[in-house]
Amino acid sequence: MSLGAGPLDEGRSADEPPLHVCRARGLLIEGGSAAAKGPLAARRGKLIMGADGLSFGNWRVPYVAIDEARLASFRQMLVPGRMLVLTVGPRVYRFGFRPAPFWEGDLPFDVQRVAGRVRRGVLGWCVTLLVGAVLAAVAVGALKAWS
pLDDT at 77 over 60: yes
Domain boundaries, the chain: 6-116, 120-147
DSSP string, 54-70: EEETTEEEEGGG-SEEE
Mean pLDDT computed over 18-27? 91
What would the mean pLDDT of 59-87 be, rounded to a whole number?
88
User: What's the average model confidence in pLDDT over 115-121?
Assistant: 69
CATH, range 6-116: 2.30.29
| Lowest model confidence (mean pLDDT) among 14-18, 80-84, 95-99, 101-105 | 14-18
CB 27 within 8 A of CB 42: yes
**What is the distance of C-alpha 55 from the center of its chain?**
13
Burial class (CB in 10 A: 0-12, 13-18, 19+), 136: exposed
CB 68 within 8 A of CB 87: yes
Is the pTM higher than 0.85? The answer reads no
